[in-house]
A and B are shown apart, each in its own frame.
Chain A
Amino acid sequence: MNSFVVFGDSTCDLGKEMREKYDIEYVTMNYSIDDEEYVASLDWDEQGAKKHYNLMRGGKRVFTTQVPKNVYYDSFKAVLESGRDVLYISCSSALSASINTAILVAKELEEEFKDAKVYCVDSLISSLGQGYLLMLASQKRGEGLSAEETAKYIEENRLRVNQCGTVESMEYLRRAGRVKASKAFFGNLFGVKPIIISDIKGQNYAYKKVKGTTNARAAIADHIVDAADGVYDTILISHADCEAEAMILRDEILKRAEFKEVIIGYIGPIVGASVGPGTVITFTFGKEVTIEGNE
């Protein structure tokens, strides 16, 4: 049995297969459509995901809520009761305030279980970027690192996970208030793609515009390959119901460098709600991010 349990949350976008492979748990956020509330599970099948994104395409708004306190409490407590520690790697605090609740719960539980530890680390990223940090944590655990050592490692290396992607419309990010961008990025810019990275504060930052899809693919591939800094291990690509585009982007990246592993997956309902259908995001581990989005 592992000495500690690694938790992500609904924004880590790791599908069941990946979570099982790396033995990763996750706490769930909630979302609602038409006042109907749903648990943000990452176990939807392709049909479910398509249906969800088609609702969004049809104009349905999706509202999201953070991880409820009792979910943290119940999930972490069960682990502590089994005599293991918890390492929770949260969604970027710039995108969700969930981690604040987690820290409160951690304090309460550490009082209740005197010898137990609950480590909460802000991933400063989301989607498969957060997912990649969870995979890394799992690997470190496998190498025999303690929960504390692993938490420290993740904290020291989290900014080395690079993100680069584009959205079909900036409208979702704008409405959700989850992007740093100048006014010039909004509005209906036909054929102009914003290139969005995650900055040193874990904010989505539209830092560049590119004309046309072909150029956007090239810009993203160039950016992410450069970010890998010569070590071509893993590329992760998450998409909001545009798998074909994710494939083209993968090929574009592989043309530039032969990564050993490519992981492609759906963007879950929480991240999906703030980026919108047609979003495709790539991640890799390499150079430390130094860009900070302007106010």
Chain B
Amino acid sequence: MQQFLDGEVLNSAFTVGYRNLKKNMAAINDLNVFPVPDGDTGTNMVHTFGGGLGAVTAQKNVGLYLRELSRAVLLNARGNSGVIFSQFIRGLYCGFENKETICFADLAYAFDCAREDTYKSIISPTEGTILTVIREATDYLTANADKFDDFKSGFEALLGCMKDTLVRTPQMLPVLKEAGVVDSGAAGLVCFFEGMYAYFCGLSFDDIDEIEFNAPKGEISASFGPDSVMEYGYCTEFVLQLMNAKTDISSFSKDEFVKPLESLGDSIVAVVNDGIVKIHIHTFTPEKVLEYARKFGEFVTIKIENMSVQHNETQVAPQKEQVKYAIIAVASGQGISDYFYSIGASLIIDGGQTNNPSVDDFLKAFDSFDAEHIIVLPNNSNIILTANQAAELYKASDVHVLPTKSLVEGYSALSMMNLWCDTVEELIDDMSSGLSTVVSAFVTTATRDTNIGGVEISKNNYIGIKNKEILICDQDRFKCATELVSNIMEQSEKEVIIVFYGEAVSEEEAKCFKDWLEEEYSLADIGFIEGKQDVYDYIISLE
């Protein structure tokens, strides 16, 4: 029985909530009330929360964890519902700010804060939306939260309340009622809580089905132009309110109504209920269909879509590249990224020390290939974790994350890659062959005064790092770099020295360093690459 949650458990519950949200993303997108398709609420909520979740690491303290998370979710917020969702998480953080762990009863106060934050964020709050779900859940919790002493039973009741609100959203918002759907943002929030509830019931990641992604939307202008041929007609849907002034509603016959439509189009679906007619038809002459229908009543909604556009969009949607192996590396710096592409990386995810890619970034990257095997080369330890998490979630390909802890190790693996290997094991063996011996060295600027391992470090001086250990601090970058290399070479003579020099390093300085290396280590293979990376002025691989 889960009486108390810490930040780590909360993170797990959120993750399953997120996964359920994601699982239902397409369905949420389809809860579309507008004549023009713009249904991307699901996608926006998924990106908003997924982006945040991927950017933080779980930690025990609930308040501290939520502070990080709410910030990250806000930074990733997209779309109307995404922003409200991010305000909701921010509200939870305000409510739990000083909590190390939480019990179910604590939710009442947190939800109250969340309700306040979300309503404040919208200029004219509309009822019958995600806002209403939050508001009614808050009311429910205020009255009942202290009756539950564990999260499973508490969430069961909370979820019931939220679902109850959700099904009533069409009654509160006419546009929903007309379209016959529930509110998409509200549905997204309920999916999220449904996932959390599943977590408290003891279901794990694996109990939730595969993720499905929406196909990217093409540009309409690109697919239907002045010289296009109208091949497929219009998908025409409307809801018609029968009018007493126009027809005798009590004797209205669906079959008789539909019969003339059959000469105007096909794929006809007709529903008649309580004086309301809903029609779906594919036709080349929608104007005639509407003209005919209007003889019986007035339209509540009309949707007409050019199916040639839809057709072309599926045609122009980029084909996924079908490959045996796809190699995805994480790197930052335009120069490094270009270089990695040139030596055979299939895709570079931008990321590094200050910019960890999210699980979702990885999943998207995985999904851009139709690959039998995907090999991921992270560039720091946190990213290894994220990549592993993404690999666990992804089912369409066999994903292998090599534990490359730095760009240097990623390079080592990439440089040894041979895509002709018959088996992925062979490929991984080749790619891993240098990992145990390669030394990663970095030169960067110290951000504060300190003393680490006997090295006196002054802020804004340059520090030379071997793997994770700071060896040198000097105010001169060139001296710092040369001493760092000397130090490493003294311990074990390396044959290959590759330097990725960063944005801050001038061509002249790089050349000086190169000349020095060539003079000092004439037997070594020396390579210089304009990495254009920030943070590290020099990233040096010694192998």
Q: Which residues of A contact B (CB under 8 A)?
A: 182-192, 207-209, 211-214, 294
Contact = CB atoms under 8 A, between A and B. Distances in A.
A192 B416 contact: yes
B342 interface: yes
A171 to B, nearest CB: 12
Contact of B416 (A211, A214, A294): A211
B433 to A, nearest CB: 7
Interface residues of B, number: 22
A189 B415 CA distance: 6
A182 B527 contact: no
Interface of B: 339, 342-344, 412, 415-420, 430, 433-434, 495-496, 498, 525-527, 529, 543
Give the top 5 A-B pairs by smallest Cβ distance, nearest first. A190-B527, A191-B496, A184-B344, A187-B343, A187-B342
Nearest to B414: A184
A188 B418 contact: no
A125 to B, nearest CB: 21
A211 B543 contact: yes
Nearest to A215: B495
A211 B498 contact: no
Contacts of A189: 343, 415
29 contacts: A182-B344, A182-B418, A183-B419, A184-B344, A184-B419, A185-B418, A186-B344, A187-B339, A188-B527, A189-B343, A190-B496, A190-B498, A190-B527, A191-B496, A191-B527, A191-B543, A192-B415, A208-B418, A209-B415, A209-B416, A211-B412, A211-B416, A211-B433, A211-B434, A211-B496, A211-B543, A212-B543, A213-B495, A214-B495
Nearest to A183: B344
Given A184-B419, A192-B416, A209-B417, 12 more contacts: A183-B344, A184-B417, A184-B418, A185-B418, A186-B344, A187-B343, A189-B343, A189-B415, A190-B525, A211-B412, A212-B525, A213-B525
A219 B76 CA distance: 50
Which of A182, A185, A187, A189 has most B Cβ within 10 Å? A189
Contact of B344 (A187, A212, A213): A187
Contacts of B498: 190-191
Contact of B526 (A183, A190, A209, A213): A190
A275 B416 CA distance: 21
A188 B420 contact: no
B495 A191 contact: yes
Contacts of B430: 209
A294 B529 CA distance: 30
A195 to B, nearest CB: 10
B93 to A, nearest CB: 46
A180 to B, nearest CB: 9
Contacts of B417: 184, 209
A28 B96 CA distance: 86
A216 to B, nearest CB: 10
B249 to A, nearest CB: 69
A182 B325 CA distance: 12
A200 to B, nearest CB: 15
Nearest to B430: A209
Given A190-B498, A191-B495, A209 B419 contact: no
A67 B415 CA distance: 38
A253 to B, nearest CB: 20
Contacts of B415: 189-192, 209, 211
A294 B418 CA distance: 12
Contacts of A212: 495-496, 525, 543
Nearest to B327: A184
B209 to A, nearest CB: 35
B427 to A, nearest CB: 10
Contacts of A182: 344, 418-420
Contacts of B527: 188, 190-191
